[in-house]
Amino acid sequence: MSIGFPFLVGFDLRAFRPIMATSWSPHFSSWRRTITLSEAHWQPRPPAPWATAWSSCRNSTCYGIIVKQWFPGGWPDKFPFTWKWGLAACNLGVWRQAPMLQEPPQRYDEQDWASIADRLTAVVYAYRLTADGGLQYTFLNSAIETLLSFTIEEWTGDPGLRVAHVHPDDRARVAAAIDEWHRQGGSLRLEYRCLTRDGRQVRLEEIGTTVAGAGGQPEVFVGAIFAVADRGEDDAEKHRDDELLRLLLEGLPHPAWIIDRQRRILACNRAGREWADVGEYCWEGIHKLTTISPDMRSAYQATGVPLPGTRCWFCQAEEALEEGQARRTEVLLEGRYWDTWWVPLGHDVYMHYAADVTEYRQTQEELVRRAAALEASERRFRDVLNGLRLVAVMLDREGNITYANPFLLQLTGWQLAELVGRNWFETFVPARERQEVRAEAFNGAAKAERFPPQYENHILTRSGERRLIRWHNSFLRDPEGNIVGTASIGEDITWQRRLEQANDAVRAIAQAAAGAGGLAELCPAVHRALQELVPAESLYIALYDRERNTVSFPYFAEDRRPRPDPRSDGKGLAELVLQMGRPVLLDSAALARLREEGKIAARVPEPLYYLGVPLKEEDGSAYGIIALETYEPGERLGPEDQALLEFVAEQVGLVLARVRAQEERWQAEQRYRTLVENANEAILVGQDGALRFANPKAAELLGVSSPDELLGRPMRDFLPQQEQQTLMPEREAVLGKRVAAPVRIINSAGKMRWVEVSATMIP
């Protein structure tokens, strides 16, 4: 084995023997060459040619080398080897300075070997100690002249130069290290400043090893000296960086370790030292062998040597080193969660640290659990909203829709995808109510941060139908408590309110009908009652006169056109309803179709909706109609309005029937009065013994100038005394029967006359 080989590959001679066959790099052309070289070392063989190969040092760095089985001429008296032949190796790369040998393998002799050594930029030396403690150089290449400006003769002739030219500030340290090396042997590694022959200061790095003599004591000292750049500022900066790194490492609240590829702990911070010491394997010191496989644990406990590839089951150090990127995972160990990192710091060294995130993980799990519970609660809440026959809607601060439940969609005819993002007020609130609802029920409530307990307003369906909703509102807030929107649940009270209003309207119409003397009094009251229920700005009543075959309009409340004159051949909507004899509800499309068919005449303006209900006789024939018309968009007439108007039509019909009956009775009374007043007989009507009516002939018979003079006077005033006693019992006896009898009467002048009295009861 060459005496330079140990410091070349980083092993000392004693450590090299058992690993000879495994320390060489696989870059060898074959393992056969390695075996041959190994055998050449242990067994004397004839001289062999030089062989080139690659060597992998302890730090995994590969260097090109030349190996020759040779006898070092000129040295046999200085090297008492126990074997005759040896191996010599020379690092052609000279530790990062010389390029790798690119020439193909060739044969070298000893002169070539010396020539190669002289071409190196590093000083290569070999010496032994003399009995007086001096140095006797056995080899020194010419690089000493280039590096320190001394000739080979000068340097070897004055062994004291080795220490004398070291910088005074470094001299004591270097001398002590060299003395220790001379006494103990082993390896040497120094970095120091040196003064050249011409006084220049250079920074040197020296590496050396020893060859033991027959007694095992160090005898030959072999080494190399390299020039390195002046790293004063670099060293200071590196020192600062190292110190900052150390402070950073120490400042970490979590345990952190610097570990090499073999899982040896090189350094650690204060928190890390509580777990493991420097020099231990990480899986041994940190985890106490609990995180490696049983086979690995048993082997290590038995031999003290770990099996190749021994690592924790969760370790990602190899991946981090290969990728050159940090690796991270979360590990559960002994009931604690650890956020574990492997951060590469170089090719073979990485920082490993772990943060106990158990509380964070538990908090996270609790948050996840609460979020899941909240999501489940929201899902149940939405399921409830989706299942209720209630309107539910959520708005943002601008009044845009963010949620609408299925019942609202069903009620209004919209799809959810069409509504989300739309403005609620522009889409659903009627134009007449929009400003008030937005200002009072939305903006005002948001400003005061308080909703009224209940609020009612109309909404429009997609088809234009109005629905009355009673709302219960609440605010939606963000985690900071700021209002971000509203959530509203509403009850459709359209029918409830319509029923209430209908009852009120019915009472009002019934009262109006009971006290009305005719349509002139009844229709305005009916119109006012209807306006509380339906869009009824336009209301009219048309009557059909069969004798004249005309349609007239005794009540006509409409601002857009004048009252039509009575007509006999019109093609209007009134005639259409009279002809059909049933309620007619038409929208603009149906009206247009009827015009196209010629069933009704065109008119200006055209209504958007028309509702007409016939007024019928007892035999079912129509003698008139009551009609509603709307002209504003969004004012829609529907089946519920038709039902209400049918009720109104019944009330109007009753009033019209009573009015007609009163008119007929009045006419009959007028005819009867004419007959009575012109009769040739005296006619008297008595009630409770007093006269209530007398015609002109009766006034003449009883001797008064006017029938009014007789009203209120007792009948007995015009009968003699004896007639009063006989006539009254007879009257009582014939109650309920028509009788005729001669009776004497006395007129106002006292003159007595005989008359025939015909009496009957008036029911």
Rounded average pLDDT over 117-133: 83
- In tens, the pLDDT along 41-83 reads 333 333 333 333 334 343 433 333 434 333 334 333 433 333 3
pLDDT above 80: residue 117? no
The answer to whether residues 145 and 54 belong to one domain is yes
- Structural domain including 217 reads 5-226
**Same domain (yes/no): 400, 488:** yes
pLDDT tens figures, 515-568: 666 667 777 877 877 777 776 678 888 988 888 889 999 888 888 888 888 888
Q: How far apart are CA 372 and CA 659, in angstroms?
A: 74
- Count of all residues that appear for the chain in the document: 763
Q: Are residues 399 and 296 in the same domain?
A: no
Indicate the pLDDT class of residue 1, thresholds 50, 70 and 90.
Answer: very low
Per-residue pLDDT at 229:
67
How do residues 165-208 score in pLDDT, each as one tens digit? Answer: 899 999 999 999 999 898 888 889 999 999 998 888 999 999 99
Most confident of 99-103, 159-163, 508-512, 746-750: 159-163
**What's the whole-model pTM score?**
0.38
Q: What is the pLDDT of residue 716?
A: 77
Stretch 10-32: mean pLDDT, rounded? 36
pLDDT at 34 over 80: no
Give dist(CA 322, CA 343) in Å, integer. Answer: 11
In a domain, 376, yes or no: no
Mean pLDDT, the chain, integer: 77
Predicted confidence at residue 68, as pLDDT, reads 36
Q: How much is the average pLDDT of 589-606?
A: 89
pLDDT digits (tens, 9 = 90+) for 311-358: 999 999 999 999 999 999 999 988 889 999 999 988 889 999 888 888
Residues in Cβ contact with 350 at an 8 Å cutoff, skipping those fewer than 6 apart? 258, 259, 317, 320, 321, 342, 343, 344
Q: How far does Cα 593 stand from its chain's mean position?
A: 51
Which CATH number covers residue 576? 3.30.450.40
> What count of other Cβ atoms lies within 10 Å of the Cβ of residue 245?
14
Pair type for strands 455-460 and 739-746: unpaired
pLDDT greater than 60 at residue 465? yes
Is 374 a domain residue?
A: no
Render pLDDT for 134-154 as a digit per residue (tens, 0 to 9).
Answer: 889 988 898 889 889 999 999
- pLDDT value of residue 75: 39
Same domain, 242 and 133: no
pLDDT at position 517 is: 63
pLDDT for 527 equals 80
Q: Which of 311, 340, 356 is the last residue of a domain?
A: 356
Sign of the CA dihedral with 316 first, then 318, 321, and 323 last = negative
- Whether 388 and 407 have beta carbons less than 8 Å apart is answered as yes
For residue 379, tell me if it sits in a domain.
Answer: no
Q: Are residues 67 and 90 in the same domain?
A: yes
**753 - beta bridge partners?**
745
Listed residues 492, 527, 545: the one ending a domain: 492
Per residue in 420-458, pLDDT (tens digit) is 999 999 999 998 888 888 887 677 666 667 777 678 889
In terms of domains, do 683 and 634 share one? no
CB 138 within 8 A of CB 75: yes
What would the 3-class secondary structure string for 197-245 be? Answer: CCCCEEEEEEEEEEEECCCCCEEEEEEEEEEECCCHHHHHHHHHHHHHH
Q: Identify the helix (H) or strand (E) that includes residue 488.
A: strand 483-492
Q: Are residues 429 and 475 in the same domain?
A: yes
Buried-state track 285-322, b at ≥16 Cβ within 10 A, e below 16: bbbebebbeeebbebbeeeeebeeebbbeebbbeebbe
What band does 245 get if pLDDT is binned at 50, 70 and 90?
confident
Percent above pLDDT 70 for the chain: 77
Q: Tokens standing for 368?
A: 């996840």
Q: What is the pLDDT of residues 262-303, one digit of tens each?
A: 999 988 888 888 888 888 899 998 888 999 999 999 999 998
Name which of 120, 81, 94, 59 is nearest 1 in CA terms: 81
Pick 677 or 366 by higher pLDDT: 366
Which of 227-236, 355-364, 565-574, 708-717 bottoms out in mean pLDDT, i.e. has the lowest?
A: 227-236
Per the domain annotation, does 262 fall within a domain?
Answer: yes
Residue 716: phi and psi, rounded to 5, are -65, -20
pLDDT tens readout for residues 617-654: 878 888 899 999 988 876 788 887 888 788 888 877 77
| pLDDT band of 93, cuts 50, 70, 90 | very low
The one-letter amino acid at 637: L
How many folded domains does the chain comprise? 5
Give φ, ψ of 372 to 5 degrees.
Answer: -65, -40
Radius of gyration of the chain (CA): 64
Give the pLDDT score at 6.
39
The verdict on 203 and 79 lying in the same domain is: yes
Task: Classify residue 576 as exposed, middle or buried by CB count within 10 Å of its CB (0-12, 13-18, 19+).
Answer: middle
Name the phi and psi angles at 167, rounded to 5.
-55, 135
Rounded-to-integer distance, Cα 56 and Cα 23, Å? 6
* 413 found inside a domain: yes
DSSP 17: G
Residue ending a domain, among 340, 356, 372, is 356
CB 291 within 8 A of CB 280: no
Q: Which residue has the higher pLDDT, 735 or 30?
A: 735
Q: Which residues contact 172 (CB under 8 A, 6 or more apart)?
A: none
Q: What is the pLDDT of residues 472-522, one digit of tens each?
A: 888 888 888 888 888 888 999 888 887 787 777 777 777 776 766 666 777
Is residue 13 situated within a structural domain? yes
State whether 245 and 351 are in the same domain: yes
Strands (E), 631-735: 684-687, 690-694
Tokens of 406: 């299925």
> What distances in angstroms separate CA 700 from CA 691, 694, 696, one per listed residue?
15, 10, 6
255: in domain: yes
Q: Which of 77-81, 320-324, 681-685, 697-701 has the highest mean pLDDT?
A: 320-324
> 200 and 251: one domain?
no
Question: Is 672 within the bounds of a domain?
Answer: no
* 199 and 290 assigned to the same domain: no
The answer to whether residues 480 and 551 belong to one domain is no
Residue 707: give its domain's CATH number.
Answer: 3.30.450.20
Does pLDDT of 614 surpass 90?
Answer: yes
